Amino acid sequence: MTEQKQHQNLSESPDGGYTIIESLVAMIVVSVLMIAIAPVMAFSVATRVQARRIELATQAARTYIDGLRSESIKFGGTIKGFPAKSTAANLADTAVPGNNTDLYCVDMDGTGVCETSSTKDFYVQGAWLNQDATDPDPTLKGYQLLVRVYRADSFASGVTLKAAPKDEKKQSIVGSGLGDKTMPVVEMSTEIPATGNPSYKSILDRLEKKTP
């Protein structure tokens, strides 16, 4: 009888279940692992959000350029956003916009207007430069065009726009998910030919007049 009890006690292992200490240790290990990978996950999500924003801003810039080339956005027209003449010697040094009053609106959230509280809408700044143009309407001779695309909330109260350093990109997808609202999401430049002239003819005319 005694031998049977001893055999029964030996078969019942004390390690048959988790103790409170083991459970606490497991929870601590899981917590440490979660803390370690959380920044990586947050960084990954932020990068995807910013990359998507840059993609949409690029589409907005191309829409704006196409509107100028097709003359749906034209000098003196009803659609706001025709580029302003740059007062800088170099087009890239054009001053940042002081407000959004005359900028081109790209409504991305379907409300019909661009709201400064929106993180989806964009405002497009256009600036033109042609040293040979004396008429206020640059489409008569064609022009160089600078396009900057800003988030709509870049014009919210308390936000001061600034120009990015020349040796840096305007926005980087490596950063916070919302990006830096004080700088343009996308900046690009192109040539807009004179009305009725092919693009290459407009550029050639301008280059010939700059040649001494």
Q: Pick from 189, 192, 199: which is nearest to 94 by CA?
A: 189
Is the residue at 23 inside a domain?
no
Domain limits for position 188: 31-210
199 band by pLDDT with thresholds 50, 70 and 90 = low
Q: Evaluate if residue 7 carries a pLDDT over 70.
A: no
Residue 85, domain member (yes or no): yes
- b/e per residue, 53-91, with b = 16+ CB within 10 A? bbebbeebbeebbebbeeeebebeeeeebbbeebeeeeb
Q: What is the pLDDT of residue 13?
A: 53
Q: Does 192 fall in a domain?
A: yes
Does 111 reside within a domain?
A: yes
Q: Is residue 24 part of a domain?
A: no
Question: What residues contact 165, with CB distance under 8 A and at least 6 apart?
Answer: none
In tens, the pLDDT along 143-177 reads 999 999 999 999 999 999 987 666 555 555 444 45
Q: What is the average pLDDT value for the chain, to the nearest integer? A: 81
Total domains present in the chain = 1
Distance CA 14, CA 175 (A): 52
Question: Residue 1 domain-assigned?
Answer: no
**Residue 125 backbone zone (phi > 0: left; psi -120 to 50: alpha; other: beta):** beta
Cα–Cα distance measured from residue 15 to residue 187, given in angstroms and rounded to the nearest whole number: 65
Query: pTM higher than 0.85 for the full model?
Result: no
- pLDDT, tens digit, for every residue of 91-139? 989 999 999 999 999 999 889 899 999 989 999 999 999 877 778 889 8
The residues with which 38 forms a beta bridge, in sequence order, are none
